[in-house]
């Protein structure tokens, strides 16, 4: 081990290091390893794939432990996309296809999906009795790995692994999103390190100050343990006060809402102290089959009964999301094609059914409906006119329903003054906005965008300063610890995040 990696510090000394989730952990260094077992199972490759598809569907519908169920939906769609219509002839053919897909994207803008393909391969192999699971140590540890699979993160959550150090990866990879959502202290080093020799029995991961100490002194260990205990106490206190209003020291009230996918994740958000739902993704209900009007209505009604403040996003289909019963014309670049509101205006009957279900479920409650991927005013007015037409034909009073847009496409920002005359509210989806603003895939392993990029912050400031209607944020940046104060100072008073982050975010706001 070379001296220059004994202590690694970021921000001031090494801007390459990126914190995934902030915290302090003292633990035994553990290199990533897997336990392998083989058991005979009377099952063929295509049945194994079907079982994995069912598993991922169940995880998606339940929201997963992290509340990020859409990750498993994306994986399921990835698996379906590489499976031939008549299935695979053998396990070897399946593994060859996985290797081909990985080789296509290893050095491309889609390279972050390599770990998803490996994850899918292992899930299928496990169904065949070829098990390979992350080794979990019997004492408190810090895992050090090149990168990890999404299923590894699920195993880490309830294990003795209390911190994670990745030598490469992306802040927007599925594994990173899960680590952050499950509040596991973790960082990305973006460099290789040799820790085989001269490493202490205990090391320090301080992802608050972006510091990894491989050979700490007794004094450093004592200081880190005190900070770790203090943070754990703060976490417990934050959780106990999770239902209280989040108000800054200057008396500014901030609503901390949750991003949810279904009824179970909405219930989880309620338990974690969410002030409401800032983003209800509705795709989960449509993935397997076309839901009936009653099925949709009942689901929306159950969720609306949990909160007084609910924002429902209409179907965001297109890009990498499709429906098995709707044929979308093949596109060279689906992320710039029939996606979001464009898809809904193309498939109007499905859109009208969804709107009617929401209207029937709202029962006079105040509800917000927002349309995704709106790029020009005509798209919004056409969608709103369709909604009003649905209400009129069914004699439903929708005077308590507001209509707004997701701010994801840069062209909308240039037309905010026009939109102000028509919309009731805005919700900034910073994930896609960042992607389209910089023309960089947000999961790209090589081309990285600083989540606090002055350009992005300036854009968010322009949106907030220009818009005369209420504006909230429901993208990943709302859950980034160092971004919260900046967003509030700009003027944002509605932040929507993963449910498990809510207690700590509320506590941070109270200390500002």
Q: Is 444 a catalytic residue?
A: no
* Three-class secondary structure of residue 418 per DSSP: helix
In order, the DSSP letters of 195-225 are: -SSS--SSEEEETTTTEEESS--HHHHHHHH
Number of Cβ within a 10 Å radius of residue 408 = 26
Helix (DSSP H) and strand (DSSP E) numbers for the chain: 18, 19
Name the active-site residue from 32, 210, 362, 474: 474
* Inter-residue contact 477 to 483 (CB < 8 Å): yes
Strand order in the sheet with 24-31: 7-9, 211-213, 203-206, 24-31, 141-145, 161-166, 186-188, 18-21
* Inter-residue contact 67 to 258 (CB < 8 Å): yes
Name the active-site residue from 174, 210, 362, 444: 174
**Contacting residues for 490 by C-beta, under 8 A, at least 6 apart:** 457, 460, 461, 464
In order, the DSSP letters of 16-65 are: T-EEEE--EEEEEEEE--EEEEE------HHHHHHHHHHHHHHHHHHTTT
Name the pairing type of β-strands 203-206 and 211-213.
antiparallel
Nearest to 77 by CA among 428, 440, 385, 319: 319
Q: 151 phi and psi, to 5 degrees?
A: -70, -25
Rg (CA), the chain: 23
* Inter-residue contact 23 to 182 (CB < 8 Å): no
**Structure tokens, 303:** 């969720």
Q: Is 174 a catalytic residue?
A: yes
Catalytic residues: 174, 474
């Amino acid at each position: 081990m070379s001296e220059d990696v004994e202590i690694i510090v970021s921000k001031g000394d090494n801007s390459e290091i990126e914190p995934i989730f902030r915290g302090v952990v003292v633990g035994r260094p553990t290199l990533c390893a897997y336990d392998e077992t083989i058991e005979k199972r009377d099952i063929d490759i295509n049945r194994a794939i079907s079982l994995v598809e069912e598993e991922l569907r169940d995880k998606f519908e339940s929201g997963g432990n992290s509340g990020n169920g859409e990750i498993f939906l994306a994986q399921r769609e990835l698996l379906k996309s590489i499976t031939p219509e008549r299935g695979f002839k053998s396990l070897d053919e399946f593994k060859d296809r996985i290797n081909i897909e990985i080789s296509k994207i290893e050095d491309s803008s889609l390279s972050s999906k390599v770990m998803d393909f490996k994850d899918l391969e292992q899930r299928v192999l496990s169904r065949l009795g070829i098990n390979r699971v992350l080794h979990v140590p019997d004492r408190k540890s810090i895992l050090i790995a090149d990168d990890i699979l999404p299923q590894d993160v699920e195993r880490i959550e309830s294990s003795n692994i209390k911190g994670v150090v990745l030598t490469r990866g992306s802040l927007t990879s599925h594994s990173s999103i899960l680590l952050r959502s499950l509040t596991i202290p973790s960082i990305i080093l973006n460099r290789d390190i040799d820790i085989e020799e001269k490493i202490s029995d205990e090391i320090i991961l301080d992802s608050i100050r972006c510091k990894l100490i491989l050979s700490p002194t007794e004094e450093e260990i004592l200081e880190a343990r005190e900070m770790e205990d203090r943070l754990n106490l703060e976490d417990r206190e934050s959780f106990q006060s999770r239902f209280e209003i989040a108000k800054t020291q200057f008396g500014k009230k901030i609503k901390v809402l949750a991003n949810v996918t279904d009824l179970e994740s909405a219930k989880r958000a309620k338990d974690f102290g969410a002030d409401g739902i800032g983003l209800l993704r509705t795709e989960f209900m449509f993935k397997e089959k076309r839901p009936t009007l009653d099925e949709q209505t009942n689901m929306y009604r159950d969720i609306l009964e949990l909160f007084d403040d609910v924002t429902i996003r209409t179907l965001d289909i297109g890009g990498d999301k499709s429906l098995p019963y709707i044929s979308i014309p093949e596109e060279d670049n689906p992320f710039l094609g029939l996606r979001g509101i464009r898809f809904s205006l193309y498939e109007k009957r499905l859109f009208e059914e969804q709107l009617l279900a929401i209207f029937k479920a709202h029962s006079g409650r105040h509800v917000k409906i927002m349309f995704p991927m709106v790029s020009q005013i005509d798209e919004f007015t056409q969608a709103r006119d369709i909604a009003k037409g649905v209400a009129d034909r069914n004699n439903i009073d929708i005077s308590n329903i507001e209509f707004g847009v997701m701010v994801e496409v840069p062209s909308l920002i240039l037309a905010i003054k026009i939109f102000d005359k028509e919309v009731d509210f805005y919700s900034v989806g910073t994930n896609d906005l960042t992607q389209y603003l910089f023309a960089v895939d947000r999961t790209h392993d090589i081309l990285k965008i600083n989540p606090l990029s002055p350009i992005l912050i300036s854009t968010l400031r322009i949106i907030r300063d220009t818009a005369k209607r209420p504006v909230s944020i429901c993208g990943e940046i709302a859950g980034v610890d160092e971004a919260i104060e900046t967003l509030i100072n700009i003027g944002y008073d509605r932040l929507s995040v993963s449910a498990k982050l809510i207690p700590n975010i509320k506590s941070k706001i109270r200390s500002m």
